[in-house]
Chains A and B, each alone.
Chain A
């Protein structure tokens, strides 16, 4: 017994090293599986507050960009309103009328970006709205220009968002021109470019095609822009290797919209276990 204690006291640096290393690796590998369990991240109010202070300088120099983005978005929305108004008359010819709850199922909340990273392999964004505003993990986040990501965890007044620039995050997407389905996932290299996968080579993909979120999506409303096709390559297997220029500029990201799909629970419950089959046969 004495020998054991002696051994421990002689090797205590090594033993402490092994214990702490195992502890940090455990934290590292389990971190992605917890949503609200641990607040050891920037959702923590004190952490977020202090980051807000250090971000206030950057924010000032960003105002011009924010203005431009908002002006462009306003313009787009004006066009949309005009178009929808003119289509209204045609629409009445159909017998289909969306249930008002379904049509208005997406509620949005505006939030300010506290801090965002773009150059890590797994990027996160912290925003200044939390559960007090009705936000919850799993909700989608978009900007004036396109898709941003999905909420990972919320505290009362702050939330952490998994950016689309994250190695384990996939978004269901489609090509706007011909409705071909694929999925968008980042390869970790450049914050301006993202990859579109699972588009078979038999389908047509052209340069400058717009890629938007698909209709088979719980988190995002359909037709939110993800990016524009920049390069179409071929791979060994039957799929294309497509590079997209991201629609959202993550370097200057300042304001975002959080999307609350009020009917998500109902939809998931109804579809139950059909999820897997739906993925293979998107109909």
Chain B
């Protein structure tokens, strides 16, 4: 990995994690819709990231968020889960013409429809695991589902919004 790429990767992580902790943490709509914008650190990593690296990165970024949320292990577990599923989901969502070598995981490269479906799927799985763990009670299933759907919508919206500011 070249040095400039390394720096840009570190900035990418720093940006999403700090954004999550300092700003988006306070953003809760109607007590149901949270915003977990930090999943972008896993979801939007380059295509050629190895599956092992993905899982490791997911664990540490999840743990970092957990420390601030007082939910030790919860974000780490759901983050690791989507990181492991990511290659499978990418295969399932292969565009008709297949992936191109020049493609990057961004709005400008993949098109609006594809990125919404991809982000939505990943966010939904992540949030469902997260809220289910948090509730630890099947009696709250309906509430978990409502929370998951609202949160998926908000997270996807914010991540796509941030895509417009990428050069």
Inter-chain contact A20/B31, CB cutoff 8 Å = no
Inter-chain contact A17/B55, CB cutoff 8 Å = yes
26 pairs of residues in contact across A and B, judged by CB atoms under 8 Å: A12-B52, A16-B52, A17-B83, A20-B55, A20-B56, A20-B80, A24-B63, A28-B72, A29-B73, A41-B70, A42-B67, A42-B70, A50-B22, A54-B23, A54-B26, A118-B31, A119-B28, A119-B34, A120-B71, A120-B134, A121-B134, A121-B136, A122-B134, A167-B135, A167-B136, A167-B137
Q: Interface readout for A40-70 with B: 1 if CB under 8 Å, 0 if not?
A: 1110100100110110001000000000000
Could you list which residues of chain B lie within 8 angstroms of chain A, going by C-beta atoms?
Answer: 21-23, 25-26, 28, 31-32, 34, 50-52, 54-56, 58-59, 62-63, 66-74, 76-77, 80-81, 83-84, 131, 133-137, 140, 143
Q: Which residue of B23, B25, B50, B59 is within 8 Å of A13 (Cβ)?
A: B50
Closest chain A residue, CB of each to CB of B60: A20
Q: How far is the CA of A21 from the CA of B22 in the complex (A)?
A: 27
Closest chain A residue, CB of each to CB of B25: A54
Which of A20, A27, A28 has the largest count of B CB atoms less than 10 A from its CB?
A: A20
Q: How far is the CA of A28 from the CA of B63 in the complex (A)?
A: 11
The stretch from A82-90, A169-177, A187-195, A208-216 touching chain B is A187-195
Inter-chain contact A21/B31, CB cutoff 8 Å = no
Q: How far is the CA of A36 from the CA of B143 in the complex (A)?
A: 32
Closest 7 CB pairs of A and B: A28-B73, A27-B73, A13-B51, A24-B76, A24-B77, A124-B70, A17-B84
Nearest CB in chain B: distance from A173 CB, A: 22
The interface residues of chain B lying within 8 Å CB-to-CB of A118 are 31
Nearest CB in chain A: distance from B126 CB, A: 13
The interface residues of chain A lying within 8 Å CB-to-CB of B140 are 121, 188
Main secondary structure of the interface of B (DSSP, over half): helix
Closest chain B residue, CB of each to CB of A27: B73
Inter-chain contact A40/B72, CB cutoff 8 Å = yes
Instruction: Beyond A24-B59, A188-B137, A190-B31, list 12 extra A-B contacts (CB 8 Å).
Output: A13-B50, A17-B80, A24-B62, A24-B74, A25-B73, A27-B72, A40-B66, A40-B67, A40-B72, A120-B71, A121-B140, A160-B70
Inter-chain contact A20/B59, CB cutoff 8 Å = yes
The interface residues of chain B lying within 8 Å CB-to-CB of A120 are 69, 71, 134
Inter-chain contact B67/A20, CB cutoff 8 Å = no
A96 at the interface (CB under 8 A from B): no
Inter-chain contact A13/B84, CB cutoff 8 Å = yes
Nearest CB in chain B: distance from A36 CB, A: 14
Nearest CB in chain A: distance from B35 CB, A: 12
The interface residues of chain A lying within 8 Å CB-to-CB of B52 are 12-13, 16
Inter-chain contact B134/A31, CB cutoff 8 Å = no
Q: Which residue of A28, A38, A50 is within 8 Å of B74 (Cβ)?
A: A28
A26 at the interface (CB under 8 A from B): yes
Q: How far is the CA of A176 from the CA of B72 in the complex (A)?
A: 38
The interface residues of chain A lying within 8 Å CB-to-CB of B81 are 21
Inter-chain contact A191/B66, CB cutoff 8 Å = no
The interface residues of chain B lying within 8 Å CB-to-CB of A23 are 59, 76
Q: A residues 156-208 with Cβ under 8 Å of B?
A: 160, 167, 188-191
Nearest CB in chain A: distance from B136 CB, A: 8
Nearest CB in chain A: distance from B150 CB, A: 11
Known: A167-B137, A189-B143. A31 touches B72 (CB 8 A): yes
The interface residues of chain A lying within 8 Å CB-to-CB of B51 are 13
The interface residues of chain B lying within 8 Å CB-to-CB of A27 are 66, 72-73, 76
The interface residues of chain B lying within 8 Å CB-to-CB of A188 are 135, 137, 140, 143
The interface residues of chain A lying within 8 Å CB-to-CB of B63 are 24, 40
Nearest CB in chain B: distance from A91 CB, A: 45
Q: Which residue of B50, B56, B67 is within 8 Å of A41 (Cβ)?
A: B67
Nearest CB in chain B: distance from A124 CB, A: 4
Closest chain A residue, CB of each to CB of B133: A28
Which of B28, B67, B131, B137 has the largest count of A CB atoms less than 10 A from its CB?
A: B67
The interface residues of chain A lying within 8 Å CB-to-CB of B25 are 54
The interface residues of chain B lying within 8 Å CB-to-CB of A12 are 52
The interface residues of chain A lying within 8 Å CB-to-CB of B22 are 50, 53-54
